[in-house]
């Protein structure tokens, strides 16, 4: 399985109020004034996360949109203040998944200003992941379908074999549309552990269900066919008719051979083969009765012989009809 973890508010707690607080201190603008302004993640923000514009260009545009009067250094310091602390319980789960043989990666919408801070501040994130995918390096961002597809292709997994954790509902919806099992992480840090563990159990259950579903469907269809075709009665009739037809069939075959002396050796070899391979331990007694039956059948008139042949053929026809009914052919 492939487990894909978002970074912010999944592995590491983030809080944009800390960003506004730092900018308030630098600009001497009251924090309440900043909070009253619309803090929108618009196209400039998206372009920065895709790596389409530089950090300096992003800072300049963002300050213009927000009405901020900050130097680039002040803006950068405040922008990096968003990170609060790593969630050790999620790091533990990531390690546990890797120990179980699963592939664990991080997929984050981020930017260069942030990636110059958090990898050194939280080295345990890199240690817990097999690979880290960053939006500004990939030139795409969540919830774009192509970013999920790129990760699946790079890792060699299908969407059905992947689980995705994120705190953004739009990102969850984007992954869901591709068939990736997606878990929306919200609430307290303890809730994150419960969600991760629940997702692990859910994935195991889904995989087990996925593998047993075809077998259950086949068994259900088989039982329906047995009931619809009254197969239990057919099986009983088939067994009875088959056993009943063996004696006249064998009698006809051996009688035909006995009628032509040139086939005497073939008849003898066939008889030994039949009794050696298809007759149980009491075959001697059965053999005596069949040989008596064959000897008597050789004394029959032409009409009697024809009747015996017709009887054998009708019995075989009944077997053929029963088999055709079972196989619907």
Q: Mind telling me the catalytic residues?
A: 6
Residue 162 parent element (H or E): strand 162-166
129 within 8 A of 105, measured Cβ to Cβ: yes
Rounded Cα gap, residues 253 and 130, in angstroms: 74
Partner residues linked to 103 by β-bridges: 2
11 within 8 A of 87, measured Cβ to Cβ: yes
Residue 130 parent element (H or E): none
Q: Are strands 2-5 and 162-166 parallel, antiparallel or unpaired?
A: parallel
Extract the tokens encoding 170. 């739009």
Question: Which residues, at least 6 apart from 322, have a Cβ–Cβ distance to it below 8 Å?
Answer: 234, 237, 238, 241
Angle at 292 between CA 287 and CA 295, to 5 degrees: 125
In a 3-state reduction of DSSP, which class is residue 140? coil
In a 3-state reduction of DSSP, which class is residue 3? strand
Say whether the peptide bond before residue 323 is cis (omega within 30 degrees of 0): no
Q: How many CB atoms lie within 10 A of CB 59?
A: 22
How far is CA 132 from its chain centroid?
24
Extract the tokens encoding 57. 């260009």
Q: Which long-range contacts (CB under 8 A, 24 or more apart) does 219-227 make?
A: none
């Amino acid at each position: 399985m492939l487990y894909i973890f978002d970074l912010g508010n999944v592995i590491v707690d983030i809080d944009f109020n800390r960003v506004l607080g730092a900018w308030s201190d630098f600009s001497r603008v009251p924090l309440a004034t900043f909070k009253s302004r619309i803090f929108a993640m618009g196209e400039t923000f998206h372009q920065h996360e895709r790596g389409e514009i530089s950090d300096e260009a992003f800072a300049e545009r963002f300050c213009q949109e927000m009405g901020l009067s900050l130097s680039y250094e002040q803006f950068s310091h405040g922008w990096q203040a968003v990170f609060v602390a790593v969630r050790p319980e999620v790091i533990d789960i990531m390690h546990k998944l890797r120990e179980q043989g699963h592939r664990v990666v991080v997929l984050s919408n981020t930017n260069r200003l942030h990636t110059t801070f958090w990898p050194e501040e939280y080295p345990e994130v890199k240690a817990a992941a097999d690979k880290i995918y960053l939006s500004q390096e990939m030139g795409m961002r969540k919830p774009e379908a192509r970013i999920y597809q790129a990760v699946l292709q790079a890792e060699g997994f299908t969407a059905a074999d992947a689980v995705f954790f994120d705190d953004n509902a739009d990102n969850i919806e984007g992954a869901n549309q591709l068939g990736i099992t997606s878990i929306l992480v919200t609430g307290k840090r303890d809730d994150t552990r419960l969600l991760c563990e629940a997702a692990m159990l859910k994935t195991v259950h889904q995989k087990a269900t996925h593998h047993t579903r075809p077998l259950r469907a086949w068994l259900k269809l088989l039982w329906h066919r047995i009931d619809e075709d009254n197969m239990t009665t057919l099986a009983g009739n088939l067994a009875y008719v088959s056993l009943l037809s063996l004696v006249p069939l064998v009698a006809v075959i051996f009688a035909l051979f006995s009628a032509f002396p040139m086939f005497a050796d073939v008849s003898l070899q066939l008889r030994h083969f039949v009794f050696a391979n298809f007759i149980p331990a009491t075959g001697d007694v059965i053999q005596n009765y069949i040989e008596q039956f064959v000897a008597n059948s050789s004394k029959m008139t032409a009409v009697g012989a024809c009747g015996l042949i017709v009887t054998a053929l009708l019995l075989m026809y009944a077997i053929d009809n029963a088999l055709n009914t079972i196989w619907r052919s």
